[in-house]
Protein backbone atom coordinates (compact mmCIF):
# COMPACT_ATOMS: atom_id res chain seq x y z
CA UNK A 1 0.00 0.00 0.00
CA UNK A 2 1.07 3.55 -0.62
CA UNK A 3 1.28 5.54 2.62
CA UNK A 4 3.03 8.74 1.53
CA UNK A 5 3.92 10.50 -1.70
CA UNK A 6 6.42 13.29 -2.19
CA UNK A 7 6.68 14.83 -5.62
CA UNK A 8 6.05 17.83 -7.82
CA UNK A 9 2.56 19.17 -8.28
CA UNK A 10 1.78 18.63 -11.96
CA UNK A 11 -1.85 19.75 -12.22
CA UNK A 12 -4.87 20.27 -10.00
CA UNK A 13 -8.55 19.54 -10.69
CA UNK A 14 -11.73 20.14 -8.70
CA UNK A 15 -11.09 17.21 -6.32
CA UNK A 16 -7.71 15.80 -7.37
CA UNK A 17 -4.06 16.58 -7.92
CA UNK A 18 -1.57 14.83 -10.17
CA UNK A 19 1.63 14.40 -8.21
CA UNK A 20 4.71 13.62 -10.30
CA UNK A 21 6.92 11.24 -8.35
CA UNK A 22 10.02 10.29 -10.31
CA UNK A 23 8.29 10.72 -13.65
CA UNK A 24 5.14 8.81 -12.66
CA UNK A 25 1.99 10.91 -12.30
CA UNK A 26 -0.27 9.75 -9.47
CA UNK A 27 -3.89 10.96 -9.43
CA UNK A 28 -4.64 11.71 -5.79
CA UNK A 29 -8.15 12.69 -4.65
CA UNK A 30 -8.16 15.37 -1.95
CA UNK A 31 -10.46 17.55 0.10
CA UNK A 32 -10.76 21.15 -1.04
CA UNK A 33 -8.92 22.11 2.15
CA UNK A 34 -5.91 20.00 1.15
CA UNK A 35 -6.03 21.22 -2.46
CA UNK A 36 -6.00 24.81 -1.20
CA UNK A 37 -2.85 24.18 0.82
CA UNK A 38 -0.84 22.64 -2.02
CA UNK A 39 2.11 24.55 -3.43
CA UNK A 40 2.05 25.86 -7.00
CA UNK A 41 2.55 23.62 -10.04
CA UNK A 42 6.17 22.52 -10.30
CA UNK A 43 6.80 22.78 -6.56
CA UNK A 44 7.26 19.80 -4.24
CA UNK A 45 4.40 18.57 -2.05
CA UNK A 46 4.19 15.76 0.50
CA UNK A 47 0.88 14.01 1.06
CA UNK A 48 -0.16 11.31 3.50
CA UNK A 49 -1.97 8.72 1.40
CA UNK A 50 -4.89 6.40 2.02
CA UNK A 51 -5.00 3.69 -0.66
CA UNK A 52 -8.31 2.08 -1.58
CA UNK A 53 -8.11 -1.10 -3.63
CA UNK A 54 -11.33 -2.21 -5.26
CA UNK A 55 -12.06 -4.96 -7.74
CA UNK A 56 -12.18 -2.48 -10.62
CA UNK A 57 -9.80 0.31 -9.51
CA UNK A 58 -7.15 1.61 -7.17
CA UNK A 59 -7.74 5.09 -5.74
CA UNK A 60 -5.39 7.30 -3.77
CA UNK A 61 -6.65 9.88 -1.28
CA UNK A 62 -4.21 12.52 -0.09
CA UNK A 63 -4.00 14.65 3.04
CA UNK A 64 -1.64 17.35 4.24
CA UNK A 65 -1.71 15.91 7.77
CA UNK A 66 -1.87 12.39 9.21
CA UNK A 67 -4.70 13.49 11.53
CA UNK A 68 -6.87 14.39 8.55
CA UNK A 69 -6.15 10.94 7.06
CA UNK A 70 -7.19 9.30 10.34
CA UNK A 71 -10.50 11.21 10.28
CA UNK A 72 -11.02 10.09 6.67
CA UNK A 73 -10.56 6.48 7.82
CA UNK A 74 -12.96 6.95 10.74
CA UNK A 75 -15.60 8.62 8.60
CA UNK A 76 -15.46 5.71 6.16
CA UNK A 77 -16.43 3.32 8.96
CA UNK A 78 -19.82 5.05 9.30
CA UNK A 79 -22.69 3.39 7.44
CA UNK A 80 -23.65 5.53 4.44
CA UNK A 81 -20.38 7.48 4.37
CA UNK A 82 -18.14 6.75 1.42
CA UNK A 83 -15.01 8.44 0.19
CA UNK A 84 -16.86 11.30 -1.52
CA UNK A 85 -18.86 12.22 1.59
CA UNK A 86 -15.80 11.84 3.84
CA UNK A 87 -13.87 14.27 1.63
CA UNK A 88 -16.83 16.68 1.66
CA UNK A 89 -16.92 16.62 5.47
CA UNK A 90 -13.17 17.25 5.65
CA UNK A 91 -13.54 20.05 3.09
CA UNK A 92 -16.13 21.72 5.30
CA UNK A 93 -14.68 21.15 8.80
CA UNK A 94 -11.12 21.18 10.09
CA UNK A 95 -10.24 17.92 11.85
CA UNK A 96 -10.39 19.59 15.28
CA UNK A 97 -13.76 21.21 14.47
CA UNK A 98 -15.13 17.87 13.33
CA UNK A 99 -13.96 16.24 16.55
CA UNK A 100 -15.58 18.98 18.59
CA UNK A 101 -18.85 18.76 16.62
CA UNK A 102 -19.00 15.01 17.18
CA UNK A 103 -18.07 15.27 20.85
CA UNK A 104 -20.83 17.85 21.37
CA UNK A 105 -23.29 15.92 19.15
CA UNK A 106 -23.58 18.98 16.86
CA UNK A 107 -25.44 17.42 13.92
CA UNK A 108 -26.02 20.82 12.32
CA UNK A 109 -22.28 21.49 11.96
CA UNK A 110 -21.69 18.10 10.34
CA UNK A 111 -24.67 18.45 8.00
CA UNK A 112 -23.19 21.63 6.47
CA UNK A 113 -21.00 19.38 4.31
CA UNK A 114 -22.36 18.81 0.79
CA UNK A 115 -24.00 15.40 0.51
CA UNK A 116 -24.54 15.05 4.25
CA UNK A 117 -28.21 15.04 5.08
CA UNK A 118 -29.77 14.92 8.54
CA UNK A 119 -29.77 11.10 8.74
CA UNK A 120 -26.11 10.76 7.77
CA UNK A 121 -25.15 13.58 10.17
CA UNK A 122 -26.91 11.74 13.01
CA UNK A 123 -25.08 8.52 12.09
CA UNK A 124 -21.71 10.31 12.04
CA UNK A 125 -22.09 11.94 15.45
CA UNK A 126 -23.63 8.80 16.97
CA UNK A 127 -21.24 6.19 15.61
CA UNK A 128 -18.10 8.26 16.24
CA UNK A 129 -19.06 9.83 19.59
CA UNK A 130 -16.82 7.52 21.63
CA UNK A 131 -13.75 8.23 19.49
CA UNK A 132 -14.11 11.99 18.94
CA UNK A 133 -13.26 13.25 22.46
CA UNK A 134 -9.74 11.89 21.98
CA UNK A 135 -9.25 14.40 19.16
CA UNK A 136 -11.40 17.29 20.39
CA UNK A 137 -10.50 20.58 22.04
CA UNK A 138 -13.40 20.04 24.44
CA UNK A 139 -13.43 19.07 28.09
CA UNK A 140 -14.42 15.35 28.22
CA UNK A 141 -16.98 16.09 30.93
CA UNK A 142 -18.69 18.67 28.72
CA UNK A 143 -18.67 16.23 25.80
CA UNK A 144 -20.27 13.54 28.00
CA UNK A 145 -22.89 16.01 29.23
CA UNK A 146 -23.71 17.17 25.66
CA UNK A 147 -24.05 13.55 24.56
CA UNK A 148 -26.54 12.81 27.32
CA UNK A 149 -28.68 15.84 26.49
CA UNK A 150 -28.86 15.17 22.73
Residue 94 CB neighbours (<10 A): 14
Binned at pLDDT 50, 70 and 90, residue 134 comes out as low
How far is the C-alpha of 60 from the C-alpha of 75, rounded, in Å? 16
pLDDT at 138: 45
> Which CATH number describes the domain made up of 67-149?
1.10.150.20
b/e sequence 113-147, b meaning 16+ C-beta within 10 Å: beebeeebbebbbebbbebbbebbebeeeebeeeb
pLDDT at 131: 74
The domain spans of the chain are 4-63, 67-149
Q: Do domains 4-63 and 67-149 have the same CATH topology?
A: no
Q: Does domain 4-63 have CATH number 2.40.50.140?
A: yes
| pLDDT tens per residue across span 2-35 | 999 999 999 999 999 999 999 999 999 999 999 9
Tell me the average pLDDT across 91-116.
Answer: 92
- Does residue 143 register a pLDDT over 80? no
Amino acid sequence: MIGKLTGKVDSVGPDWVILDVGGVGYVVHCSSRTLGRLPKAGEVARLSIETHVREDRIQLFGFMADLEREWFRLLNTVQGVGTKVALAVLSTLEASDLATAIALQDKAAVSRAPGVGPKVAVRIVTELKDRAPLFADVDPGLARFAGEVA
